Chain A
Amino acid sequence: MTTASSNYLELFLEESLEQVDQLNLALLELEKDFSQQEIINEIFRVIHSLKSAAAFVGQDSLSSLCHKMESLLQEVRDGERAMDKTFVNLLFKGFDIINDNIKQLESTGNVTGLDDQYAEITRELEKLAGGGAAPSKKEARKKGGQVRLSAEQKKQVKEFLSQGEIVWQIRVLLEPNTPMKSLRVDLAVQGLLRLDGELLFTIPDNRSEEGDQGLPDEFLIFFASRTEPRVLHDAVNVDMVRQIRLKKINPDRLTGGASRSEKKQKEAKTVRPKKPESADQKNAKPKTETAAQNGNGNGPAEAKNGKNGKSPRPAEHRPVTQKSVRVSTDKLDTLINEVGELVIANSGFQKIQEDLSGILGQHPLVSDFSGRIDRMARIARQLQDVIINTRMFPIGPVFHRFHRLVRDLSEDKGKQVRLEILGEDTELDKEVVDLIGEPLMHLIRNSVDHGLESEADRLAAGKDPAGTVQLNAYQSGNQINIEITDDGRGLNAGVIKNKIAEKGLATMATLEELSDQEIFEYIFHPGFSTAKEVTDISGRGVGMNVVKKMVDDHKGEIQIETYPGEGTMFTLVFPLTMAIISAIMVKMKHEVYAIPLSDVIETIRVPRGEITTLENQEIINLRGEILPLIHLNQLMNIEGDLLVDEEDQVSVVVVHFNKKKAGFIVEGFIGKQEIVIKNIERNYQHVPGVAGAAILGDGQIVLILDVKEFLNLAGMGRSGNVEERGSGSWSLRSGNQSQSDEEIESLNKEIRILIEENALQKTSFELSGTNQALNPEADWQHLVEQALSQAPAESPPAGTTPPIPSPSQGSVEPVTPEPQATGTTTWETSGPGSQAETVDEAGTGPDDGDPHSLLSPFLEDVDEKEKESIMSEWQNKPDEPEDKAPSRQFAADVSSPEEKAPATSGELLPGFADAEMRQLEKMTHTGLANAGLVLSQLLGMEVSISAPTIRQYQVEELIEEFEANKQTVEIQVGFLGEIQGFLVVFFDLESAQRVGEILLGTKEELHQELASEDLQSAMMEITNIVGASVLNSIADQTEVDLTPDVPHYFQRDVRQFIQGLGLKNKTVLYLNTDFVTPQRQVTARMLIFLDFLEVRSLLKIWDEHQTE
């Protein structure tokens, strides 16, 4: 085997096994009716590609066997040989050898001891072929560059010709011994494809994955193009090409030649031209359909090959190559992990959202936020579904593999057996699909061997002489069920009992006490299987316990249902996926643990009085059943007594394990949750009783209990006293944790005193065991709280936040007085339909690099020292142990309004650096977008509101912004709340008129007179909508109390307004946005005057307006 080919070995192994399955399946189908040409073709194709692939990876015996089979099949295809049982059996035999070969190669890396078998099968094949050497392959090419095309290829050429295309036959002769011939051909073909034209096919097929050794030096490329021959010539003239000949295909000759050449082909077959068999030629592809169709050869034997394995194969059916990529499971697992992280990270947001709504109540920002969070979560979950789905494979191919087994068993045992297959499209985790084969084989063998009666018995029992074994797979809830059902005699508990006793697995006395179900489970016992079965057929199986083990290993279970005389059904139940599980989260003291839902029967609460002690084991009577109780906290080395709630009840998780039940006493249930299993062993080692860990939404790690192991640790029935067993690893924490709760408490007290003394430097440290778990939630509250009351109180060191001129410093230099610069991006709102999208975009605005986002002071802006102090401070608060349990309550406390108070107006918008104006823009952005939507709906037309720009203006510059001497409708809305300011919306008179037409159906002439009261109120309503939206969005983002006042209506020259401001030579900050309808029927402009240096003046003017 060459080095290069070994790279392909893995691919070969994977594909070839599929191909063998496919061959077996097809052959079984063929056995029903030998005349099915289509199936013969399929077998031929698959054998052919197997041959090529095998040669490529150096499996010469395999390749040559394929070659011999292929030759014989070719004769059948040519009608020179009839398909018969002998041939089919020989093929089956051949496939078995191939299968063994591949399996050996897979497990040991090389093949030994198959030579005899190969020799034998070769002899038999040669005998079948009529003695002598197998016929050599037909020559693909005739002398003189003529080539026989398959009917299909001819059809293709004809099709092109009939469309008036010119089809070229391009003969490319490579230098002898050219390395990488297929690459040369590819290059030549690529060259052609760059030209104007279409590739029909190449001979040999350039798409085949055959090794070079199988390729001749000469290629034919059929290319339809009107390009000049010279250009074509140049295109294919790649490195190592010796000769190129172009030939135009003559339509007449092709048509005429079709039947002729076919006839010739037949003749040729019969005559069998004696060509010397060079290596090249031997492996050269036949020019028949195979070449063209070879690309299909890789498709796995798709499940659809006849439902229940007996419906006839549709004539047009052909296994199609699935468009697929082979990806290593490692990569997939990484992907699954990462997406799991995404989902987790997202649920973190959900938690924030809950906390925020706890603080902010029914705030529009909160609902906006939660809407988006939901959407994100949805996307993340979908992504997760899709990716988890990539691990899912249909079980069909596995099921169909058993046709062969059943056939062989059936012949072997002299029983007629029908294999029915249902649910073949059901998808399972790849891991399970890969491993399910063997257990299924044992179960099927069991069914045929033991389940089905002999034909005579069946007839005597009035049953169909042919027995049925049915395979079925289906999903129910989060589980996949695989059923193996036979219509045989059913399990006989008595017989099994005898056998158990015979094998010495249990005494008859014990067995008498067991239920039938429990008896049946003995068939999975390692010692139960008979030696005969072991040597039978599989030759390496160890019987039903293989089934049990595999199922156990994959967190599955086996159910047995049997009806005497009617049959038995084994059901294997697997979790849908291995990566994510549902778990019950339980609380113990301050720790949280996850118990996989698959292990849990129920959760109950038991009055303490009902617990009794039996032989040192606490038990309860659960509906007549004795349920041993295990103190999970003791096994977890959490100090403390029985955990009882206010009603003197204990919480118990009832789990099952090997059909036994036990109850874990826990402190409380938190709920059910989907968790992604993470491996602890990866960086550490196996921890007894711990199956893995999961990371919750807040980043907290929760351990997942391995119930089975835990029950083993607990001795399943003895008191969960850990030390008793004296295992080294168990004596650790509990021994050291001799500190009682009081001691820990006093330690904590000491720590708290230290903290109080030196609050900003010293941080608390809680002792192990009194722990974590519920705090992060509270931490969040603190974080938010800190963020809200943030920097001013902390007096951040210089350089951490942008310099903020205090209001008393007087006016700030105008930063960018560019009145005419537009630079606005138009905000398109195209009606309700696009709502989601628009809102979404608006939402991204405030997030982008927003320096004042709630958490940023902690994550970016604050320097090391400060961060530390902040952290320590927020650490301190939840340190009161009594505060921990009701953390929700605690959360509510810290979010009281007093705590938020520091965010007052004066500090909030103290100065307007450029960046801050951008921020103001963003603040208003969402509001404007929403307003646009509402207006669009209200007015029944698309209203675009441009993204706002905020500038600082000298007042007189404002005048230039407006057309002078123009009457406008001007609506002012003052602000109520902590920020003082107002916004003004200007409509030109025409627009106002049109608003009247649209909303009221009246036409008013506004140039002469004031608008009617109806129109005025309509205009004010519009302004109100916009104003409220904008203010809401500012309020949302700044946490200031800000609501719009009643709007005021004016109809006057803009100049009057500006002059009325009385701000000559003063700086004003204004937010400018336009809103425009598509046909410019209505245009309006909005200015927002925010409280700044001129608060007093503005207020004064505003007051004046009000009194006007």
Chain B
Amino acid sequence: MNFPGPMTDDNTVNPGEEIQTMEDQQEATRVPSLQILIFKAAHRELAVPILEVKEILKPYTLTRIPNTPRFVLGVCNLRGEIIPIIDLKEKFLGETPEVTRRSRIIVVEHESHKFGLLVDEVKHVARVPEAEIEDPEKMDQEEWAANFYGFTLIEEQIVFILQTQNLLFETGQGQPA
């Protein structure tokens, strides 16, 4: 699978650059809240906790691994480390991945496992008060709950916050409500 872009550190996109809409810093300190990186993937606004985000890359050369779930696009060489890349569109919708110039790989690390999420577009970082995060159980499909930490409303958009540890492995497919 060939993504555009050479394998250099230069691929690293500084989240600060990408995300100019950092906001509400002061408010954040008052209530328990979660900082999340919002991105577009699988035709949704999704997010991951910012603390789990290691870096954001432009898509680049990828090696397919046979006999793995379809949403595991393959592995990438991240400065000598081999990290699996997951396509969220494939995982959630079963749709064929697609890479555009806005596509990015968000490298997340969960319990020292690193892996990349192929997303359509990285949006911005936001701080969400814990109280405003809805329980994933409220979502329609139960099997989906495992993949989500919760959802919230940001700028009148529903943002689904991913539970990263479950993403790498097979869970039910379907569409969040």
Contacts and interface: CB of A to CB of B under 8 A. Distances in A.
Given A637-B66, A683-B84, A687-B68, A858 B6 contact: yes
A592 to B, nearest CB: 9
B77 A875 contact: no
Interface in B51-100: 58, 61-70, 72-77, 80-84, 96-100
Contacts of B99: 763, 765
A902 interface: no
Contacts of A864: 17
Interface stretch (A771-779, A807-815, A946-954): A771-779
Counting chain B CB atoms within 10 Å of each CB, which of A637, A701, A769 scores highest?
A701
Interface in B1-57: 1-8, 10, 17
A766 interface: yes
Interface in A306-340: 337-338
Interface residues of B, number: 44
Interface stretch (A576-584, A727-735, A846-854): A727-735
B67 A772 contact: no
Contact of B75 (A680, A728, A736): A680
Given A762-B101, A763-B100, A772 B69 contact: no
A732 B66 CA distance: 9
B64 A771 contact: yes
B61 A688 contact: no
Given A637-B66, A693-B75, A695-B80, A685 B169 contact: yes
Q: Which of A733, A766, A868 has the most CB of B within 10 A?
A: A733
Contacts of A858: 6, 10
Given A689-B66, A732-B67, A783-B6, A766 B114 contact: no
Contact of A701 (B76, B101, B113, B170): B76
Which residue, of B72, B81, B96, B101, has the highest number of chain A Cβ atoms within 10 A?
B101
B97 A765 contact: yes
B61 A635 contact: no
A602 B22 CA distance: 60
A871 B6 contact: yes
A636 interface: yes
Given A678-B82, A763-B4, A763-B100, A699 B61 contact: yes
Contact of A684 (B4, B5, B96, B115): B115
A923 interface: no
A693 B61 contact: no
A766 B82 contact: no
Contacts of B98: 765
Interface in A643-686: 678-680, 682-685
B3 A703 contact: no
Contacts of B10: 858-860, 867
B100 A732 contact: no
B65 A695 contact: no
A764 interface: yes
B62 A772 contact: yes
A5 interface: no
A683 B4 contact: no
A767 interface: yes
A764 B67 contact: no
Contacts of B81: 678, 682-683
- Please indicate which of the listed interface residues B68, B72, B113 has the most CB atoms of chain A within 10 Å of its own CB: B68
B68 A693 contact: no
Given A858-B6, A871-B6, A687 B67 contact: yes
A761 interface: yes
Interface in A126-184: none
Given A699-B7, A703-B63, A762-B100, A768 B73 contact: yes
B68 A695 contact: no
Contacts of A344: 80
B80 A767 contact: no
B8 to A, nearest CB: 6
Given A683-B84, A683-B115, A732-B68, A766 B1 contact: yes
A600 B175 CA distance: 47
Nearest to B86: A684
Contacts of B100: 762-763
A957 interface: no
Interface residues of A, number: 58
Contacts of A687: 65-68
Contact of A875 (B2, B97, B114, B168): B2
Contacts of A516: none
Contacts of A212: none
Contacts of B63: 591, 693, 700-703, 771-772
A341 B67 contact: no
Contacts of A868: 58, 101
Contact of A775 (B2, B65, B74, B101): B2
B6 A779 contact: yes
B61 A700 contact: yes
A766 B2 contact: yes
A11 to B, nearest CB: 27
A766 B97 CA distance: 10
Nearest to B169: A685
B77 A684 contact: no
B74 A685 contact: no
A636 B74 CA distance: 13
B164 to A, nearest CB: 13
Contacts of B66: 635-638, 687, 689-690, 703, 733
A905 interface: no
Nearest to B83: A683
B47 to A, nearest CB: 22
Contacts of B6: 779, 783, 858, 871
Interface string A757-801: 000011111111101100110010001000000000000000000
Nearest to A878: B2
Contact of A763 (B62, B101, B115): B101
A867 to B, nearest CB: 8
A872 interface: yes
B75 A701 contact: yes
Given A687-B68, A733-B67, A772-B63, A859 B168 contact: no
B4 A679 contact: no
Nearest to B10: A859
Interface string A333-360: 0000110010010000000000000000
A732 B69 CA distance: 5
Interface string B156-168: 0000000000001
Interface in A213-266: none
Contacts of B4: 763-764, 871-872, 875
A338 B98 CA distance: 34
Contacts of B170: 728
B67 A703 contact: no
Given A636-B66, A683-B84, A683-B115, A700 B77 contact: yes
B160 to A, nearest CB: 24
- The CB with the most chain B CB atoms within 10 A, among A637, A690, A732, A864, is that of A732
A7 B168 CA distance: 38
Which of A638, A682, A783 has its CB near the most chain B CB atoms (within 10 A)? A682
7 nearest A-B pairs in the assembled complex, by CB-CB distance: A701-B63, A875-B4, A699-B7, A765-B99, A636-B66, A763-B4, A684-B84
23 contacts: A344-B80, A635-B66, A678-B81, A679-B82, A680-B82, A684-B84, A685-B169, A687-B68, A695-B80, A699-B7, A700-B63, A700-B77, A702-B63, A703-B66, A729-B69, A732-B67, A732-B69, A733-B66, A763-B100, A763-B101, A769-B64, A772-B63, A783-B6
Interface of A: 337-338, 341, 344, 591, 635-638, 678-680, 682-685, 687-690, 693, 695, 699-703, 722, 728-730, 732-733, 736, 761-769, 771-772, 775-776, 779, 783, 858-860, 864, 867-868, 871-872, 875
Given A762-B100, A867-B10, 5 more contacts: A680-B82, A683-B83, A703-B63, A765-B2, A871-B6
Interface of B: 1-8, 10, 17, 58, 61-70, 72-77, 80-84, 96-101, 113-115, 168-170
